[in-house]
Structure 1
Amino acid sequence: MKMDAAIVEIDGSLMEGGGQILRVSAALSCVTGSPIKVTKIRAGRSTPGLRPQHLSGLQLVSDLCSGSLQGASIGSTDISLTPGKIQSGNHTADTQTAGSVCLLLQAALPCALYSDTSTQFCLKGGTNAEMAPQIDYTLKVFKPIVERFGVHFDCDLRMRGYYPKGGGEVMVAVNPVKELQPVTMTERGNITKIHGKAFVAGVLPFKLAKDMSTAAVRTIRKEIKELYINIQPLQEKEKACGNGNGIIIIAESSTGCLFAGSALGKKGVYADKVGIEAAEMLLRNIRHNGCVDEFLQDQLIIFMALAKGTSRIRTGAVTLHTQTAIHVSEMLTQAKFTITKCEEGLSSNVTHIIECQGSGATNPNL
């Protein structure tokens, strides 16, 4: 930590006002060595303050940077983190709920990049949870795109965990970088491939997977006639804790852009409705002609902010999550973001270019 570093105060109720402010600010505090104080955490939520998943994410980041963490308890609305030196080695985080392992990874991954050697995480909780990326999304969409920044990690899915029990487990190994490369994704090209999987786990009947898949294909077909669409129904027997069903559909473009639509089954919701929801989400995310979907958009901001050089990414509508991540990134790094709206001729498509002059964070441990 910089001895003279002033504490950066962050209002946790700003903009999107959720756990994301916490994840981005904790990760950037760890990387930059700036101590932070986050107040009014999740102030507008029905259960304000830290939930188990936020708490285990913060503890994980604090462990990673041998930090000192104050106010870290369930329901706490104010925390402060004073980071130390980033530690490689093995780290474990367990939400002990269906709290998302993918959100734990979101907070921890940027930190591990600035370590001296490879870092291993064992993350426990929900792998396929509501209001969070599914592990399939993290592996099939997020991972290949962040690799363009120079981020390399391996992820071994040991056990899937579903709401309400959790019990999922993933092992992640992250390699450090000297610095991150900027990324340009401004040309979408054509959609060339659509594939996915519809799964059931536990005691749920295989027919649900087939129903989700069929309904999803039918929905996409209405809009995209010419492509072969392959959504495999799967029964997950071994590697699943608890009962769950869900679907993830991925579209690939000729320039290597990736988009996804996903949905999870809930009690009392027909399987075809789950399939249709995922298909409509995918279609919505490829209609706008941007290069990333609404979920990848905000997850890339922290890497753009840390990279050395200028990144440019074309998106559809800029989400509140993205605006929040930009706000926090500008507070904690020297990165400068601009968003430019592009109206495309006759079509009704509005896209935005998010441009970032990255702060060029270099790894002092390499």
Structure 2
Amino acid sequence: MLAAQTICCIDGSFGEGGGQIIRNAVSLSTLLSKPISIQNVRFNRRPPGLRKQHEAGIRLAADIASAKTVGVHQGSTSVEFTPSRLELPRVLAADPGTAGSTTLLLQVALPCLLFSSSTSIESALTLRGGTNASMAPQIDYTLQVFLPFLRRRFGVDIGLKIVQRGYFPKGGGSIYCTIPPLSKPLQAITILERGPIKKIWGEARVGGLPVVIANKMKAAAEAKLIAKGLSSGLIRIDALRERQQDAVASGGGIVLWAETENGCVIGGSCVSTRDKDPSQVGEEAAQSLLDNLQHDECVDEHLQDQMIIFMALAEGKSTVRTGPLTEHTRTAIHVAELMTTARFTVEKIGSGAHTIACEGIGYKPAFECP
């Protein structure tokens, strides 16, 4: 009986001490029917405690898991989440009412909605908020890097449509996702050889602003990449201005991604802000990509932490080469090991590269607790 289960206590100040602990813990709690208590919520953020975005994510997971919650309100530093029965497929929506990132809301819901052995019907999810927000992967990163990774490596084909863009700082955008159910456990992955770069793509976008801003971001990013030795023939960056009806707020951003001959996709990005010249935004996106390419890693810094929950749930041993470990990744590993029987090993290779290996739990769609 669920009531007799021991509550898993989690210290929200561990590692990066931010929202990722909440997202991963709530997702795993939902899948494993394991009650959790999180103390010191967002301890390393100022101000600490839940923001509207985190509140919306927890309530979304609670809808999926028919969960009881305590302390789910803005500013709360203590949260309890007690899941019950998952009933899938579902048609769901979440809206923090702020510019909170839609991609971070997706990180909460996606693992929960993937597993359903009772039907072949997709779940559908509408998420509102910031699509190109600060302090989170932009929606274009999700489209061009994260979702292709899930499709190629784990065989998970998520549908995602941008209904309207919501640029930083106002937000107000909307995305629509379809999540097909899995009929068997995820299979372990091995990605150790990146291979040569065959193309660098990019999109510099603005909404409600002159297209010249997008052109400046594009030009600066191209110049930075070429100055660091990348051939101009490898680079294709488009400058785009959204139609008025396709963007709710004025703003912009640039996302770059490098494709390699072995099927790896490495990203880099930057969001436009009022205090940054467009050329600086383009240069910072290019530098982000260059930083993620310098250690021959097969996944970039954002994919590094997002893949951890899927490695933990997969069946068998996964091994992935990456760059320097981020605090987000260390935190994701900590939560996965705390809540499941998955075990990770991290090995440093040379000056900055690492391999992350995981013996996954082989989570089955029937919702048994492994």
For Structure 1 versus Structure 2, the TM-score category normalised by the shorter chain is over 0.9
Q: 1:97, 1:164 within 8 Å by CA — same for their partners in 2? A: no
* Of 317, 336, 351, the match for 2:324: 317
Q: 1:101, 1:125 within 8 Å by CA — same for their partners in 2? A: yes
Residue in structure 2 matched with residue 362 of structure 1 by the alignment:
364
Q: 2:18, 2:41 within 8 Å by CA — same for their partners in 1? A: yes
Aligned length: 360
Q: For 1:109-146, what per-residue CA distance to the aligned partner results, in whole angstroms no more than 9, with x for missing partners?
A: 00001234421111000000000010000111000111
Is 1:179 paired with 2:185? yes
Displacement after TM superposition at 1:365 (Å): 5.9
Displacement after TM superposition at 1:152 (Å): 2.4
Mapping of 1:24-173 within 5 angstroms? 24-88=24-88, 89-115=90-116, 116-117=118-119, 118-147=122-151, 148-173=153-178
Whole-Å Cα distance in 2 between the matches of residues 323 and 83 of structure 1?
A: 25
* Of 311, 317, 328, the match for 1:304: 311
Whole-Å Cα distance in 2 between the matches of residues 292 and 357 of structure 1?
A: 19
TM-score by length of 2: 0.95
Q: 2:167, 2:207 within 8 Å by CA — same for their partners in 1? A: no
Whole-Å Cα distance in 1 between the matches of residues 360 and 230 of structure 2?
A: 41
Displacement after TM superposition at 1:276 (Å): 0.3
Q: 2:31, 2:367 within 8 Å by CA — same for their partners in 1? A: no
Structure 1 residues 46, 350: closer, same or farther in 2, change over 3 A?
closer
Residue 303 of structure 1: SS of its match in structure 2?
helix
Q: 1:86, 1:114 within 8 Å by CA — same for their partners in 2? A: no
Identity score, percent: 46
* Of 215, 219, 222, the match for 1:217: 222
Query: Which residue identity does 2:359 align to in structure 1?
Result: Q
Structure 2 unaligned regions, length at least 5: none
Query: Which residue identity does 1:188 align to in structure 2?
Result: R
Whole-Å Cα distance in 2 between the matches of residues 151 and 324 of structure 1?
A: 24
Is 1:246 paired with 2:253? yes
Whole-Å Cα distance in 1 between the matches of residues 367 and 338 of structure 2?
A: 24
Q: 2:221, 2:283 within 8 Å by CA — same for their partners in 1? A: yes
Query: Which residue identity does 2:130 align to in structure 1?
Result: G
* Of 328, 341, 351, the match for 2:353: 351
Whole-Å Cα distance in 2 between the matches of residues 335 and 181 of structure 1?
A: 14
Q: For 1:266-296, what per-residue CA distance to the aligned partner results, in whole angstroms no more than 9, with x for missing partners?
A: 1131111100000000011011101000111
TM-score by length of 1: 0.96
Query: Which residue identity does 2:272 align to in structure 1?
Result: G
Is 1:197 paired with 2:203? yes
Q: 1:155, 1:170 within 8 Å by CA — same for their partners in 2? A: yes
Q: For 1:201-242, what per-residue CA distance to the aligned partner results, in whole angstroms no more than 9, with x for missing partners?
A: 01x111111111011000000123334311110011131111
Q: 1:216, 1:275 within 8 Å by CA — same for their partners in 2? A: yes
Q: 2:188, 2:360 within 8 Å by CA — same for their partners in 1? A: yes
Structure 1 residues 267, 153: closer, same or farther in 2, change over 3 A?
same
Deviates more, 1:111-120 or 1:244-253: 111-120
Residue in structure 2 matched with residue 229 of structure 1 by the alignment:
235
Residue 250 of structure 1: SS of its match in structure 2?
strand
Whole-Å Cα distance in 2 between the matches of residues 292 and 17 of structure 1?
A: 23
Residue 164 of structure 2: SS of its match in structure 1?
strand
Residue 358 of structure 1: SS of its match in structure 2?
strand
Residue in structure 2 matched with residue 21 of structure 1 by the alignment:
21
Q: CA RMSD in A?
A: 1.3
Is 1:266 paired with 2:273? yes
Whole-Å Cα distance in 2 between the matches of residues 169 and 278 of structure 1?
A: 24
Deviates more, 1:274-283 or 1:107-116: 107-116
Residue in structure 1 matched with residue 5 of structure 2 by the alignment:
5
Whole-Å Cα distance in 1 between the matches of residues 54 and 149 of structure 2?
A: 25
Displacement after TM superposition at 1:170 (Å): 0.6
Query: Which residue identity does 1:157 align to in structure 2?
Result: I
Whole-Å Cα distance in 2 between the matches of residues 224 and 292 of structure 1?
A: 21
Whole-Å Cα distance in 2 between the matches of residues 230 and 207 of structure 1?
A: 17
Q: For 1:171-203, what per-residue CA distance to the aligned partner results, in whole angstroms no more than 9, with x for missing partners?
A: 11111112111111110111110011111101x
Displacement after TM superposition at 1:165 (Å): 2.1
Q: For 1:79-120, what per-residue CA distance to the aligned partner results, in whole angstroms no more than 9, with x for missing partners?
A: 111111222211110011100000000010000012344211
Residue in structure 2 matched with residue 291 of structure 1 by the alignment:
298
Whole-Å Cα distance in 1 between the matches of residues 234 and 367 of structure 2?
A: 48
Query: Which residue identity does 1:315 align to in structure 2?
Result: T
Whole-Å Cα distance in 1 between the matches of residues 319 and 275 of structure 2?
A: 43
Q: 2:188, 2:314 within 8 Å by CA — same for their partners in 1? A: yes
Q: 2:168, 2:273 within 8 Å by CA — same for their partners in 1? A: no
Query: Which residue identity does 2:322 align to in structure 1?
Result: T
Structure 1 unaligned regions, length at least 5: 344-348
